[in-house]
């Protein structure tokens, strides 16, 4: 079996419900390593890019509001925790721990089965995102993380020079 990487997000409902510890505990049962982690305030652009495959679905506007935490009133619930996990057969194993997309159909022991719900607007608030296949995982990891934010170069990189680039530093 091959070593794989994938993106896991603790979505705004997971953050708001203070489920971070519970979710990471369930994920740790798979004995995988975290090779990147950060808190991300989710812009409209990032939300649209992340869920581009669902752009024609009727629930797409609500899905963008959900992943941006807008349905929870914005700050401080306008963010997600993002992780890159690595391990043997990681995608299938983590998807199993995450559970089915619809929390009502998910195994009750899975993260989504235990903590998810369906809102009155019909959105599945399922507390985590979990990449579902290798090409999707690569696209998502590259969307959410820069090479320097992951402890290994899991994909080929290139050196680029950006002229006149302003950066914010600690004062
Ligand atoms: N979603 C939803 N209703 C649906 C299908 C999906 O609200 O009928 C939401 C749900 O939050 C899900 C996300 O859209 O996690 C992405 O959908 P996808 O089919 O990719 O499911 P996932 O890969 O997250 O299990
Ligand atoms: Mg998906």
Is the CB of 35 within 6 Å of ligand 1? no
Query: What residues in the chain have per-residue pLDDT under 70?
Result: none
Give the SS3 label for residue 133: coil
Compute the distance from residue 4 Cα to the ligand 1 centre, in Å: 22
Residue-level pLDDT at 10:
98
14 exposure class (CB count in 10 Å sphere: 0-12, 13-18, 19+): buried
Ordered structural domains, the chain, with CATH: 3-149 (3.30.70.141)
Residue-level pLDDT at 1:
82
CB 128 within 8 A of CB 15: no
Other beta carbons within 10 Å of 5: 24
Q: Is residue 129 flagged as an active site residue? A: yes
Compute the distance from residue 121 Cα to the ligand 2 centre, in Å: 19
Residue-level pLDDT at 141:
98
For residue 57, the ligand closest to its alpha carbon is: 1
Is the CB of 60 within 6 Å of ligand 1? no
Residue-level pLDDT at 121:
87
Compute the distance from residue 17 Cα to the ligand 2 centre, in Å: 22
Give the SS3 label for residue 5: strand
Residue-level pLDDT at 130:
98
Residues with CB under 5 A from ligand 2 (ion): 132
- Candidates 129, 130, 144, 150; catalytic one: 129
């Amino acid at each position: 079996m091959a070593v794989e990487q994938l993106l896991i997000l603790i979505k705004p409902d997971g953050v708001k419900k203070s489920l971070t510890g519970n979710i990471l505990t369930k994920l740790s049962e798979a004995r995988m390593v975290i090779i990147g982690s950060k808190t991300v305030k989710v812009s409209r652009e990032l939300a649209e890019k992340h869920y581009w495959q669902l752009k024609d679905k009727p629930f797409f506007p609500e899905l963008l509001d959900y992943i941006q935490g807008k349905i929870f009133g914005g700050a401080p619930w306008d963010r997600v925790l993002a992780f890159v996990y690595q391990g043997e057969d990681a995608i299938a194993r983590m998807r199993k721990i995450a559970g089915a997309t619809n929390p009502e159909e998910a195994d009750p022991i899975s993260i989504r089965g235990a903590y998810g719900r369906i809102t009155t607007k019909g959105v599945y608030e399922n507390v985590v995102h979990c990449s579902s296949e290798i090409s999707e995982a690569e696209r998502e990891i590259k969307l959410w993380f820069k090479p320097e934010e992951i402890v290994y170069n899991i994909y080929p990189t290139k050196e680029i020079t950006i002229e006149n680039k302003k950066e914010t530093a600690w004062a």
